[in-house]
Amino acid sequence: MNNVAVMYHYIRERNGWRGIFPLSPQDFSHQIDTLSKTYDIISLDQMDIPRSRPWCILTFDDGTKDQYVNAFDILKRKGIPAYFTVMSGPLVSGVVPMMHLVHTVLSFVSDEEIWELIRLKHDTTGIEEASTIYSYELDRLRRYNKYMLNVKLTTEEATEILGSVFDTLFSDRAKFIDDFYLTEQEIKHMHREGMTIGVHCHKHQPYCGNPQQFYDREIKPCRDYLKNVLGSSPEWYTPAFGGGVHHKAMREQLTPILVANGFKGAFSTVSKEVPQAREFWIDRIDCSKLLHAKINY
Ligand SMILES: [Zn+2]
């Protein structure tokens, strides 16, 4: 039987945040208990040790506060290790990435309002067809907005629209960042308690096609930040968006640079189990798909 790495994002109640799809702390706790019946839930440095049962790794993306308040709290009480990744941009330079502007603004402003702002300024031809990539969003305008903001518009164009709306919702951006992301103290605390801390990104950009430039812009700033906070260089990497549309090229081109910089492995968003002999890139199954996956869950 194969091993599995599980991918988590928000672990929280929705509490009015209409723009996100969190897993509730209660469901998270239940999921761990269920996984524990079949798998040894291990830390990353135990992956290559032979064992009688298959292993499971719990991975967290984006470094949001709820992961500390809810997931870490539950894991600590159960004595289970996990792997958390950090996005350094907001912490270092106070910039909230587009993805989180989208989650926040779509939570508190109506889709009609956002769609009007987009339509006034930009060409939306072919939106019905194109937005089907967001078919899990049942609301039509929500699909349109997400497609335009995340895919069609440039980062500058989308930031122009969302940034101004965001500022009316959260006038104190430093406070928002403090409330929304892990702080330095929280990262240190999790690390002290045996959690593995890895690099997610700096600004949450997809792979750009130039491995050295991508490393210098998206990986090195986060690695340097974590080295400064933890006193040692992080050894594990999880790219934003799983690398994005160029994820296959990213695997080929970026791996030698990661290895040269001391990384021991990296995590994809390809929904597969992990074979007995793991490779540098480790696939992950999203927590929401576990119930439907053909694994002994
Ligand atoms: Zn991410």
Distance CA 189, CA 267 (A): 23
Predicted local confidence at residue 294, as pLDDT: 46
- Report how far ligand 1's centroid is from the alpha carbon of 255 (Å): 19
242 closest CA partner among 22, 19, 62: 62
Domain positions in the chain are 4-93+182-289, 98-175
- Report how far ligand 1's centroid is from the alpha carbon of 161 (Å): 21
- Report how far ligand 1's centroid is from the alpha carbon of 100 (Å): 9
Predicted local confidence at residue 18, as pLDDT: 87
- Report how far ligand 1's centroid is from the alpha carbon of 8 (Å): 10
Amino acid at 88: S
Predicted local confidence at residue 104, as pLDDT: 94
Question: What would the 3-class secondary structure string for the chain be?
Answer: CCEEEEEECCECCCCCCCCCCCECHHHHHHHHHHHHHHCEECCHHHCCCCCCCCEEEEEECCCEHHHHHHHHHHHHHHCCCCEEEEEHHHHHHCCCCHHHHHHHHHHHCCHHHHHHHHHHHCCCCCHHHHHHHHCCCCCHHHHHHHHHHHHHCCHHHHHHHHHHHHHHHCCCHHHHHHHHECCHHHHHHHHHCCCEEEEEECCCCCCCCCHHHHHHHHHHHHHHHHHHHHCCCCCEECCHHHHCCCHHHHHHHHHHHHHHCCCCEEECCCCCCECCCCCCEECCEEHHHCCCCCCCC
- Report how far ligand 1's centroid is from the alpha carbon of 200 (Å): 7
- Report how far ligand 1's centroid is from the alpha carbon of 219 (Å): 13
The radius of gyration computed from the CA coordinates of the chain, to the nearest angstrom, equals 19
- Report how far ligand 1's centroid is from the alpha carbon of 241 (Å): 6
Predicted local confidence at residue 296, as pLDDT: 46
Residue pLDDT tens, the chain, 297 long: 899 999 999 999 999 898 888 999 999 999 999 999 999 999 999 998 999 999 999 999 999 999 999 999 999 999 999 999 999 999 999 999 988 998 999 999 999 999 999 999 999 999 999 999 999 889 999 999 999 998 899 989 999 999 989 999 999 999 999 999 999 999 999 999 999 999 999 999 999 999 999 999 999 999 999 999 999 999 999 999 999 999 999 999 999 999 999 999 999 999 999 998 899 999 999 999 886 544 444
- Report how far ligand 1's centroid is from the alpha carbon of 64 (Å): 10
Predicted local confidence at residue 217, as pLDDT: 98
Predicted local confidence at residue 292, as pLDDT: 52
Predicted local confidence at residue 295, as pLDDT: 47
| CATH number for region 4-93+182-289 | 3.20.20.370
